[in-house]
Amino acid sequence: MKILLAVDGSEYTKKMLAYLAAHDTLLGTEHQYVLFTVQPAIPPRARAALGKEIVEKYYAEESEKVLKPVTKFLAQQGITPKADWKVGGAGELIAKLATSGKFDLLVMGSHGHGTLGNLILGSVATKVLANCDVPVLIVR
């Protein structure tokens, strides 16, 4: 199976990894894994003031902070994943990659804000489900 792991470095990413570790059918060297994280865009005025180099370095460093521990965890399981990151809206970008990358499964953690929280804040998981053609496993 080709599995996309959407990660954000939160406690919910850790819960997702624990769930995978507890289920041999989902975590194993016979599968292909891609880690993916999304950085929120810095407002245009701030980007202009900071300069392109500084902003790009910031995005890369923040993405590495998220991806490195997950890569290390998977390496301990004998798995060498590919990793990627983008800047923008997380829900839309995760769904787009899952579909265009022809993944068999997308696994992600959910913060579980509930209905009211989704109305006020929006939910990455809700956006992924609305835009994704790939089966999604959400771990809470």
Q: pLDDT tens digit string along 80-126?
A: 999 999 999 999 999 999 999 999 999 999 875 555 544 444 488 88
Q: What pTM was computed for the model? A: 0.91
Q: pLDDT tens digit string along 32-74?
A: 999 999 999 999 999 999 999 999 999 999 999 999 999 999 9
């599995």: which residue's tokens?
Answer: 3
Q: Rounded to 10 degrees, what is the CA torsion of 47, 57, 65, 26?
A: 90
Helix or strand holding residue 39 (H, E): strand 32-39
* Residues 56/91, Cβ–Cβ less than 8 Å: no
